Amino acid sequence: MNTPRLSSVPGYDLKSIPLKSSLLALLVFSSGVAFPATAAEPADTVVLHGRVYTVEARHPWAEAVAIRNGEILAVGTDEEILRHRVPTTKVLDAKGHLVLPGFTDCHVHFLDGSTSLSQVQLEDAKTIAEIQQRVKTYAAAHPSDPWVLGRGWTYPVFPPDGLPNKKYLDEIIPDRPVYLEGFDGHTWWANSKALALARITKETSDPPGGSIVRDTAGEPTGAIKEDAADAIVRRVIPEPSREAKLQALRAGIHLANQFGLARVHVLGGVNAGRDDLQNVDLFEELRRNGELTLRFYLAYRLDPPDVSGQQLRAIVAARDRYHDDWIAAGGAKLFLDGVIETHTAAMLEPYSDSPALSGDLLWDADKYKHFVAQLDQRGIQVFTHAIGDRAIRLALDAYEQAGKQNGTKDLRHRIEHIEDASAADIPRFGRLGVIASMQPLHSYPDEDTLKSWAPNVGPERAQRGWAFHSIEAAGGVLAFGSDWPIVTLNPWSGLETAVTRQTAEGTPKGGWIPSQRISLADALRGYTLNAAFAGHREKSEGSIEPGKVADLIVVSQDLFHIEPSKIGKTRVVLTMVGGQVIWRTQSF
């Protein structure tokens, strides 16, 4: 076929769109010169009168966008875009508002988060009495639920050791099992009825990888730590019905769209055994019903000590089966360590406040490297949870070694979290092409960060806490996400934190490690174009450019003309995914 060499124009992927429309769009867009009205391809929808921030470096600003068949046909001035208007074209007036590409959240536990929406929410409960009140109210409102389930309580509610006790739940609900997950997914809280149903007594021994907290007399207190311990209880909780899961997913998708999300990267369950990928048929069902208004990239969770041949085959099979614009699978998620607050993140040197501790790797280092190489060889993108500098170094070593050994390129393996990298490793992200998948809201400088996280690593290492700027300045790609339900799915508070490194109240003055702040434009890229790149989608998503999917949002305030401390208050007034308006506020 005689094809003009348009594909050499950087930034334009012309494979997926008809040549004629892309050629027109390109001419109109890049020349800025009026193109004959008769030649313009008709649009299904035009968005006019916007302040369109495209996130495309060469043409960052425009006024209007034309959309056809779920894709962006043209981007330009109102005048240019109006040429694509025909009588059937829908017109959306952005009323001078800021228009951005739809956001991607690079790190969520979607089924967990969605399920938690209909359970007791304890995120902002500050006292035991408040928790009791909420649990009681919820239980009364849901008399037929066999278990009262919820999540989000925090350690400071329970001084001095930060651990909850069954007695507070027994006081309000003695006859029905209650089981509540801590905000970080590491500790659970059961009442006596739940312990009895799970047959947890004084005699029950701790399972590997977890523990049943006991009082001085050896009696279980109701606090249960880490995955394996949780599993003892979870196996006696009835699995939600298929319809209940679908209902939960619908609520999760709706919430995501309201926040301006068009895609999420799903990193498996927060806990072993609850994998979104095992539920991929639910996403399929929603798609068949026309209810899928959020794009999904699903990773398969692999837990130590080994990866079986069957698991490897399952990931490859999932990737071969699901790889379109809406449902894609085939990533693999591994956990290398825990968290800094509880001294379980693996550090190269001992913790500053507890010199006897330096955290442990959850995988045997050689086995981890071996399995990374196996995954890499099959072209599977690897996502490694690594928070401490020792875990981060091992992940970088494993990725580097696998690439050399297999001769693979551009697989864009990722490290998730990267809370404290060593100075020597920061430039390796850029050099090795490893994606820095970070969650800005985890660096929110509240009491937890300043009074627990920072003293644990000490002042020298704290300087590299969530080193957004250093990683980026050394050529690394920052891809942003939330870690929902560990923190809110709302990306706007995360965006603010990356820019200000301050709380909503403006503390600490001047910002926490202000040298690691990044610009608004760079932070926006973390949720859009870089996020698309981190999921191998930058040719079709992540910026407002002709030929890309029509995922865009209109927001309540112009982020470029407000105080950075107000970014978190942004509301999304309209969300379009695949050319369809799927959310808009009543007032817009």
Binding site for Zn ion (CB under 5 A): 483
For the CB of residue 63, give the shortest distance to Zn ion in the complex, in Å: 39
Query: Which residue's Cβ has the minimum distance to Zn ion?
Result: 483
Sheet strands (E) in 69-140: 71-76, 90-93, 98-101, 103-108, 120-121
The encoded tokens of residue 443 equal 């660096």
User: Looking at beta carbons only, is 11 or 209 nearer to Zn ion?
Assistant: 209
User: Looking at beta carbons only, is 270 or 550 nearer to Zn ion?
Assistant: 270
- The sign of the CA dihedral 401, 403, 404, 406 is positive
User: Looking at beta carbons only, is 154 or 557 nearer to Zn ion?
Assistant: 154
User: Looking at beta carbons only, is 443 or 543 nearer to Zn ion?
Assistant: 443
For the CB of residue 16, give the shortest distance to Zn ion in the complex, in Å: 31
User: Looking at beta carbons only, is 84 or 333 nearer to Zn ion?
Assistant: 333
C-alpha–C-alpha distance, residues 265 and 301, integer Å:
13
Q: Are 409 and 399 in contact (CB under 8 A)?
A: no
For the CB of residue 276, give the shortest distance to Zn ion in the complex, in Å: 12
User: Looking at beta carbons only, is 425 or 483 nearer to Zn ion?
Assistant: 483
Q: Are 570 and 492 in contact (CB under 8 A)?
A: yes
For the CB of residue 301, give the shortest distance to Zn ion in the complex, in Å: 10
Angle at 114 between CA 112 and CA 116, to 5 degrees: 70
Residue among 387, 396, 389 nearest 418 (CA): 387
For the CB of residue 109, give the shortest distance to Zn ion in the complex, in Å: 6
User: Looking at beta carbons only, is 443 or 570 nearer to Zn ion?
Assistant: 443
C-alpha–C-alpha distance, residues 74 and 81, integer Å:
7
User: Looking at beta carbons only, is 276 or 541 nearer to Zn ion?
Assistant: 276
Helices and strands, number each (H, E), in the chain = 19, 24
For the CB of residue 481, give the shortest distance to Zn ion in the complex, in Å: 8
C-alpha–C-alpha distance, residues 569 and 484, integer Å:
19
User: Looking at beta carbons only, is 168 or 368 nearer to Zn ion?
Assistant: 368
For the CB of residue 76, give the shortest distance to Zn ion in the complex, in Å: 40
State the burial class of residue 284 (Cβ atoms within 10 Å of its Cβ: 0-12, 13-18, 19+): middle
Sheet strands (E) in 489-584: 552-555, 572-577, 580-584
For the CB of residue 569, give the shortest distance to Zn ion in the complex, in Å: 26
Cβ contacts of 337 within 8 Å, gap of 6 or more: 344, 345, 346, 359, 360, 361, 362, 385, 386, 387, 388, 390, 391
The encoded tokens of residue 55 equal 């996130």
Q: Are 588 and 574 in contact (CB under 8 A)?
A: yes
For the CB of residue 140, give the shortest distance to Zn ion in the complex, in Å: 33
User: Looking at beta carbons only, is 483 or 538 nearer to Zn ion?
Assistant: 483
Centre a 10 Å sphere on the Cβ of residue 129 and count the other Cβ atoms it contains.
11
For the CB of residue 259, give the shortest distance to Zn ion in the complex, in Å: 17
Residue among 332, 306, 335, 307 nearest 394 (CA): 335
Residue among 435, 556, 577, 546 nearest 13 (CA): 546
501: left (phi over 0), alpha (psi -120 to 50) or beta: left
**Which H or E run includes 436?**
strand 435-438
For the CB of residue 377, give the shortest distance to Zn ion in the complex, in Å: 26
Distances (CA, A) of 49 to 62, 92, 93: 9, 9, 6
User: Looking at beta carbons only, is 337 or 483 nearer to Zn ion?
Assistant: 483
Q: Classify 184 as helix, strand or coil.
A: coil
User: Looking at beta carbons only, is 107 or 225 nearer to Zn ion?
Assistant: 107
Residue carrying structure tokens 């309201």: 258
C-alpha–C-alpha distance, residues 485 and 566, integer Å:
23
The encoded tokens of residue 269 equal 């369950």
User: Looking at beta carbons only, is 403 or 535 nearer to Zn ion?
Assistant: 535
For the CB of residue 185, give the shortest distance to Zn ion in the complex, in Å: 8
Strand partners, 484: 108
C-alpha–C-alpha distance, residues 536 and 544, integer Å:
17
For the CB of residue 71, give the shortest distance to Zn ion in the complex, in Å: 32
For the CB of residue 486, give the shortest distance to Zn ion in the complex, in Å: 6
User: Looking at beta carbons only, is 135 or 298 nearer to Zn ion?
Assistant: 298
